[in-house]
Amino acid sequence: MTVSTLTPSGVQCPKCGAHSIVEYKPTVYHCLKCDFEKDLSMPPKPEDTGLAQAIMGLAGFGLGLLILL
Ligand SMILES: [Zn+2]
């Protein structure tokens, strides 16, 4: 069994210029040399937050109905 640790991907760091960028998480890149970090994941959109709140509200409403019945 081979344990693969952080392997340099050859991506150049925009901060220090070293080719020591590793994929820290599927969306997060980290430089081993200068601790530069780049998160490629997009922040949640306001629409999504509103939708989630609407779903939570509906779930709460449904739960309330279940308790009443
Ligand atoms: Zn760097």
Distance CA 28, CA 37 (A): 7
Distance CA 23, CA 21 (A): 7
Question: How far from 39 is each of 23, 53, 56, 59, CA to CA, in Å?
Answer: 10, 25, 28, 32
Give the global pTM. 0.47
Helix segments in the chain, DSSP class H: 46-68
Mind listing the pLDDT tens digit for each residue in 20-35?
A: 999 888 899 999 999 9
Ligand 1 centre and the CA of 7: distance in Å? 15
Ligand 1 centre and the CA of 12: distance in Å? 8
Mind listing the pLDDT tens digit for each residue in 41-60?
A: 877 676 777 777 887 888 88
Distance CA 45, CA 31 (A): 28
Ligand 1 centre and the CA of 27: distance in Å? 17
